[in-house]
Structure 1
Amino acid sequence: MAKITRITTQKRNKNRYNIFLDRGQGEAYGFSVGEDILVKFQLQKSMELEETSINALVQKDTIHKTYTLAINYLSYRMRSEKEIRDYLLKKEADEAHIEEIINRLKKEKLLNDQEFAISLVRTRMQTSSKGPLLVKKELIEKGVQSQLAEEALDYFSFDKQVEKALKFAKKKLNSDRKKSHRQQIQNVQQTLMQKGFQTDVIKEVIGQLPEEEQEEHSEWEAIVYQGEKLLRKYERKAEGFELKQKVKTGLYRKGFPFDLIDQFIDENIDNK
């Protein structure tokens, strides 16, 4: 049997207390507990404790500290069960304690993968350019079951996907104005696929972009820009027919139509 001889507040953490015990050999440090454990079990000077009780108090305090870690981690944003588990393992928490804490968090409705998935989908819709495939991948990586991820993606409707993808596509077109219209469209398609948008959404977006006929002026500006770059590249190494073929081939590979290529060649090489 051990008797509590003194209880002191820790210098670095005012919410934790050091418990000093006398086991018949004089006072010595016994263990430490948080304020909640101290109050709950009414620990006070002169109280006698059996060793089994001391071990139980230390374990309860350890669980409480781990629970506090989890609560603090949750305070920044919602977390998936896997994120909580991984975080506590990183903090070297006992696996049995982790299970207990996860069950407690679920009962307290602080941990719910379905609600987490819905929240993440809505956040990504508002703050990122990710399509549903990338969002689902992110959910799976965070430990959300595939079915729950699919259900959460119902909130990312087709119309909202098109709205987001179209906004990005127009921005992309604007940044690629010095490329051919065909190359611009190909770049948009490729980028939207990389961002996780599906074929039906991409097709709808492409259908809402300006037609090539409406882009004739910018298309000519683009071919002049790209053609002059090719001329500077090849005119020191080739001339005449060879120069024309190199420039023609380069412009064709960049997606420009034959009529504009011929017009550029006529105005910039044949008439020199």
Structure 2
Amino acid sequence: MFQPKKQTPLTKGEAYLKAASFCAYQERCRQEVREKLYTYELPDQEIEEILEKLETEKFLNEERFAKAFAGGKFRLKKWGRLKIRQELKMRGIPEAYIRKAGEEIKDEEYIEVLYHLLEKKKNADRLKSTIEDKQKLLRFALSKGYEQDLIWEGINNLFTAK
């Protein structure tokens, strides 16, 4: 019966090179890199040393990660600020960086994207001006992470505009 070879543990230097390559491929947060380093079965002290070195050498930067994450999720997945904030918190990003990342999304573009999402959903589902249909739109936009007051404003504009 075939048995795979047991992988030999990586040295600290080898782990650093792999982690640097991991960070260079795309922006990463400290938590993601830490989890990757744990898979190399390194002692906690070495993991922390590698993380510090990656930050010193600018491979790892949580502010840069937060801004890239927020911009990407907003532009590509059309996520709202609340969902982006929640995801960044779950990744252990400091509050100051989360705030800066939220500021990267311009208010006019944010409202425009929300209204476009609402209009697209209304047309796709052939929704009318009933309370049930408006609630369906509300639930949809809330699940995307948009603020309730902005959603209601958008829904009201959508059904009053001709």
- Common fold by TM > 0.5: yes
SS at match of 1:181: coil
Structure with greater Cα Rg: 1
CA–CA distance in 1 between the matches of 2:12 and 2:69?
A: 29
Question: Where is the strand percentage greater, Structure 1 or Structure 2?
Answer: 1
Q: Answer yes or no: is the 8 Å Cα contact 1:124–1:130 preserved in 2.
A: yes
SS at match of 1:144: coil
Q: Answer yes or no: is the 8 Å Cα contact 1:176–1:184 preserved in 2.
A: no
Q: Which of 161, 166, 181 is equivalent to 2:129?
A: 181
TM-score, with structure 2 as normaliser = 0.85
Is 1:109 aligned to 2:109, yes or no? no
Amino acid at match of 2:22: Y
CA–CA distance in 1 between the matches of 2:129 and 2:40?
A: 54
Q: Where do 5+ consecutive residues of structure 1 fail to align?
A: 1-60, 215-272
Q: Which of 126, 135, 157 is equivalent to 2:106?
A: 157
Spell out, residue by residue over 1:217-245, the C-alpha distance to the aligned partner (whole angstroms, 9 max, x if none).
Answer: xxxxxxxxxxxxxxxxxxxxxxxxxxxxx
Quote the offset at 1:211 in angstroms: 2.1
Q: Which of 187, 206, 220 is equivalent to 2:155?
A: 206
Q: Answer yes or no: is the 8 Å Cα contact 1:165–1:202 preserved in 2.
A: yes
Show structure 1 runs of 4+ deviating over 6 A.
Answer: none
Quote the offset at 1:115 in angstroms: 1.0
Which residue in 1 is equivalent to 2:6? none
Which residue in 1 is equivalent to 2:42? 93
Which residue in 2 is equivalent to 1:192? 141
Q: What is the aligned-residue identity percentage?
A: 26
Amino acid at match of 1:163: E
Amino acid at match of 1:114: E
SS at match of 2:145: coil
Q: Answer yes or no: is the 8 Å Cα contact 2:19–2:37 preserved in 1.
A: yes
Is 1:147 aligned to 2:112, yes or no? no
Quote the offset at 1:86 in angstroms: 1.2
Question: Where is the helix percentage greater, Structure 1 or Structure 2?
Answer: 2
Aligned residues: 152
Q: Where do 5+ consecutive residues of structure 2 fail to align?
A: 1-9
Quote the offset at 1:200 in angstroms: 3.0
SS at match of 1:143: coil
Which residue in 2 is equivalent to 1:46? none
Spell out, residue by residue over 1:56-83, the C-alpha distance to the aligned partner (whole angstroms, 9 max, x if none).
Answer: xxxxx81111101202221331100111
TM-score, with structure 1 as normaliser = 0.52
Quote the offset at 1:192 in angstroms: 0.8
Coordinate RMSD, CA, aligned: 1.8
Which residue in 2 is equivalent to 1:137? 86
Q: Answer yes or no: is the 8 Å Cα contact 2:129–2:159 preserved in 1.
A: no
CA–CA distance in 2 between the matches of 1:157 and 1:191?
A: 22
